[in-house]
Amino acid sequence: MRVLLILLLAFGFHTVKAQQTVQLPKGASSPKAALDDVAWISGHWMGEAFGGIAEEIWSAPLGESMMFVFRLVNDDKVTFYESGHIKQVDGTILLQLKHFDGNLRGWEEKDQTIDFKLVKVENDKVYFEGLTMEQINEDEMHVYVLIENEGKKEEVLFSYRKKK
């Protein structure tokens, strides 16, 4: 996570003016949800972030999961990757990911993942703790991520267009 924060500072980022991310109330459980509720995320998405090109590729629901890969390219070199999934767990969904540098060296410990619990699902929006995905239209998606650095929290906007 420290490397991501350095990237944010080095390349700059779009902060969000109105709060888009949310947290579950203390002691609350994630609501019931199914992968079909977020199947609109499937596809090949591209946009600009951190002074480079951001790319996400999401699979359709299959095997109780939707897998994805992400990469950030700056100056024709991969800065970092993410790999993960949204999976069906106990009647709800959970987003999990791992980060890798440009040489596929993991940032998290071997058995550690970054987990985003589901907060709520709306028609065109899914809220995980600290990460919100919004379908603007069939070809455009916004992803808001809450980043914390030295006690200061900022939301970062990834604005994607579907690659045809």
Torsion of CA 16, 20, 21, 23, to 10 degrees: 140
Confidence class for position 148, pLDDT limits 50, 70, 90: confident
Query: Is residue 6 scored above 80 in pLDDT?
Result: no
Q: How far apart are CA 35 and CA 93, in angstroms?
A: 7
Taking only the tens place, the pLDDT of each residue in 24-52 is 999 999 999 999 999 999 999 999 988 89
For the entire predicted model, the pTM comes to 0.86
Residues 152/8, Cβ–Cβ less than 8 Å: no
Instruction: Please tell me which residue, 50 or 162, carries the higher pLDDT value.
Output: 162
What domains lie within the chain, and their CATH numbers?
Answer: 2-162 (2.40.128)
Q: What is the DSSP string of 37-80?
A: GGGGG-EEEEEEETTEEEEEEEPPSBTTEEEEEEEEEETTEEEE
Taking only the tens place, the pLDDT of each residue in 85-117 is 999 999 999 999 999 999 999 999 999 999 999
Averaged pLDDT score across all residues of the chain: 90
Return the structure tokens found at 70.
Answer: 């992400």
